[in-house]
């Protein structure tokens, strides 16, 4: 089964992927910070049953992963694939995740909230991501009772999620806004519309390879469609600005851009060891060159975004099936990349 990050849609432009996350809590249990381990186990079984025992096609497409009993490499690899959040892997209570076979949907059980439903769609397709998350939400609600207030909406551990419990986001490649020093002013401008910008893995993470998450901040007092429409409008403005900067730079310095892109290919094709940070920077140059229309670029045996995920430290460790030193990882990463460039 192909994964969402193996799709060509992830490599078609500035927007890499669209994501919708729904936060839900079960009425009969305490919120997570007051939840006993015994109740955490009970809730896992209830949510698992609502999905795996369902008579829908979804019941056959999901598998359950007990996250709190996994080793750190496996946990980190799920973060690198955007299956779970960085906060979730640090959970010390019973917790787990239900994952669809193509990794477009994951259901974290006992994260900050009892349930975090996440749906990812490749490319600019936030509507599809919402529809997927909404279907799963409705399916689970057939078996459990959510904590819901007629006045406030869905009740959540964090007040910023109260209401719809919806967090919608785009993963965007923004090298031009980054290089021209416009990211700070962008963040300030879009915050007025209730939109925030974070790193590649969300709050507190770095924007490796100039990849950012752009998402809504507030859910209370807004409908799901209002939140998504607002995000789409802001994202369209960001895409337009990034594209304008790309066009202007290519018009003024096409030789420099082509040299930068081809040098990046040259290093990736010949390097005998390379760090994840350097590789992400070079892949960012190539992705930008493709968006600008640089001709004659070599083909890759896998999609760029898939490659960016596969070269992350934990994913390498899991693939290699043994613990490696940083130097061994850098050598393995370089060899893997060389083998993907035709």
In a domain, residue 180? The reply is no
Q: What is the pLDDT of residue 5?
A: 92
**Interval 13-30: pLDDT, tens:** 899 999 999 999 999 999
Rounded CA-CA distance 13/62 in Å is 30
* Residue 297 pLDDT class (50, 70, 90 cuts): confident
Q: How many domains does the chain have?
A: 1
Tokens of 158: 């964090």
Cβ–Cβ under 8 Å, residues 62 and 50 = no
What is residue 136's three-state secondary structure? helix
Question: Which residues sit opposite 65 in a β-bridge?
Answer: 97
Q: Is the model's pLDDT at 3 over the cut of 80? A: yes
Rounded CA-CA distance 185/40 in Å is 43
In a domain, residue 44? The reply is no
In a domain, residue 248? The reply is no
Q: Which domain holds residue 260?
A: 255-340
Tokens of 160: 């910023």
In a domain, residue 305? The reply is yes
In a domain, residue 24? The reply is no
In a domain, residue 269? The reply is yes
**Interval 72-102: pLDDT, tens:** 999 999 999 999 998 888 888 899 999 999 9
Instruction: Over range 21-43, report the average pLDDT.
Output: 92
Of 220 and 44, more confident? 44
Q: What is the pLDDT of residue 302?
A: 86
Q: Is the model's pLDDT at 59 over the cut of 80? A: no
In a domain, residue 163? The reply is no
Q: Is the model's pLDDT at 219 over the cut of 90? A: no
In a domain, residue 118? The reply is no
Q: Is the model's pLDDT at 55 over the cut of 80? A: no
Q: What is the pLDDT of residue 43?
A: 93
Rounded CA-CA distance 247/308 in Å is 25
* Residue 205 pLDDT class (50, 70, 90 cuts): confident
* Residue 119 pLDDT class (50, 70, 90 cuts): very high
């Amino acid at each position: 089964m192909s994964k969402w990050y193996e799709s060509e849609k992830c490599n078609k432009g500035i927007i890499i992927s669209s994501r919708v996350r729904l936060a839900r809590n079960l009425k009969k249990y305490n919120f997570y910070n007051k939840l006993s381990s015994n109740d955490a186990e009970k809730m896992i079984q209830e949510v698992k049953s609502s999905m795996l025992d369902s008579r829908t096609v979804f019941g056959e497409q999901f598998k359950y992963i007990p996250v709190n009993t996994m080793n750190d490499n496996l946990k980190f690899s799920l973060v690198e694939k955007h299956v779970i959040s960085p906060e979730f892997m640090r959970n010390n209570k019973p917790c787990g995740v239900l994952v669809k076979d193509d990794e477009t949907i994951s259901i974290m059980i006992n994260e900050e909230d009892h349930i975090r439903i996440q749906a990812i769609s490749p490319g600019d397709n936030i509507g599809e991501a919402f529809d997927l998350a909404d279907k799963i939400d409705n399916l689970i609600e057939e078996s459990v009772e959510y904590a819901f207030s007629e006045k406030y909406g869905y009740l959540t551990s964090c007040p910023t999620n109260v209401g719809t419990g919806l967090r919608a986001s785009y993963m965007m490649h923004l090298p031009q806004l980054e290089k021209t020093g416009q990211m700070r002013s962008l963040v300030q401008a879009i915050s007025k519309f209730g939109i925030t910008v974070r790193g590649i893995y969300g709050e507190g993470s770095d924007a490796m390879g100039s990849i950012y998450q752009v998402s809504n901040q507030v859910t209370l007092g807004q409908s799901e469609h209002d939140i998504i429409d607002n995000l789409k409008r802001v994202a369209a403005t960001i895409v337009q600005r990034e594209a304008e900067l790309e066009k202007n730079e290519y018009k003024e310095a096409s030789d420099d851009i082509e040299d930068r892109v081809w040098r990046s290919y040259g290093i990736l094709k010949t390097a005998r060891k390379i760090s994840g940070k350097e590789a992400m920077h070079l892949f960012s140059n190539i992705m930008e060159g493709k968006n600008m229309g640089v001709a004659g670029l070599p083909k890759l045996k896998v999609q760029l975004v898939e490659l960016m995920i596969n070269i992350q430290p934990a994913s390498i460790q899991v693939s290699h099936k043994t613990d490696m030193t940083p130097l061994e990882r850098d050598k393995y990463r370089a060899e893997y990349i060389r083998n993907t460039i035709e």
